[in-house]
Amino acid sequence: MTIGLHSRKRRPTKRLVLTGAVALAGLTTIGGVFANFTDSASAGPEAISTGQVHIVLATPTGDHGALTVGPINNLAEGDTVARVVQLTNNTSVGATGTTGLAAVNGLNLQTAVTGTNAASDIVTDTTNGLHVTVQSCATSPTETGGTTGPWTYSCAGGFTTVVNNLPLKTVNTAAQDITSSAPNQGASTYYVVTVTLPTTYADSYNYNSGACSTGGVAGSTEQLQNCSVSITYNFTATQRAGASQ
């Protein structure tokens, strides 16, 4: 009986020793993961800078008929108002000899009409209301009219019409793509903007009691007399398509 008891006590000791051996083996394996050869290398720095898309509007040197000159009072049917602006392209994201602008809608023009009668028939009537023409010239146009105007313009190389007698409502509602006239980087294009009030029908003072109308019917209730609006011309440039550099 005594011998049998001693024999049973020794067996658990052997199992404990064996378990400890396994644990030590596991620690040895885990430690080996961190024993790697390594290396690293760096290249650079690589200098990168961004360019710009930037257009500047100005009045050509020596000219007086700037787009900002006004007010233009007492306009009558058949009258025209011409103004000049120089657009310089200071963009730098394109290759030499290019505009740096998108091929389509790279340069857009859109008006913004404000004032007492901005929503009146003189703006919204696409037949009888105000119309806009924009012509481009590669060189500064010759201005006549002195310091006070009215001014007219001629272009030595000939004008190119980029907005052809469109209703003010159209130019006010949708941007007009004038990219074909955009100057190359570092150069200028000159634009003559002409606003016309067409002669379309006899506008009697009796229509709408002589007050500028909104939603009137031409020849009966539409009144284009005594209207007052202000027109802002917004030129917007957009960069060329992305490319490998």
Domain ranges of the chain: 55-237
Cα separation of 32 and 36, whole Å? 8
Q: Which long-range contacts (CB under 8 A, 24 or more apart) does 48-54 make?
A: 51/91, 51/92, 51/93, 51/100, 52/90, 52/91, 52/92, 52/93, 53/91, 53/93, 53/100, 53/101, 53/237, 53/238, 53/239, 54/89, 54/90, 54/91, 54/92, 54/237
Omega of the bond prior to 12 within 30 degrees of 0, cis? no
**162 contact partners, CB below 8 Å, separation of at least 6:** 109, 134, 135, 136, 176, 178, 180, 181, 191
Secondary structure of residue 33 in the 3-state scheme: helix
Secondary structure of residue 187 in the 3-state scheme: coil
Beta strands in 9-159 (DSSP E): 55-58, 80-89, 107-114, 131-137, 142-144, 152-154
Identify any residues that bridge with 203 across adjacent strands, giving them in sequence order. none
pLDDT of the chain, 245 residues: tens digit per residue: 333 334 444 454 444 444 444 444 444 445 555 678 999 999 999 999 999 999 999 999 999 999 999 889 999 999 999 999 999 999 999 999 999 999 999 999 999 999 999 999 999 999 999 999 999 999 999 999 999 999 999 999 999 999 999 999 999 999 999 999 999 999 999 999 999 999 988 899 999 999 999 999 999 999 999 999 999 999 999 999 999 98
Q: Which long-range contacts (CB under 8 A, 24 or more apart) does 151-158 make?
A: 151/63, 151/64, 151/65, 151/82, 151/83, 151/84, 152/82, 153/65, 153/82, 153/84, 153/192, 155/190, 155/192
- Give this prediction's pTM: 0.84
Tell me, rounded to whole angstroms, the distance of Cα 67 from its chain centroid: 20
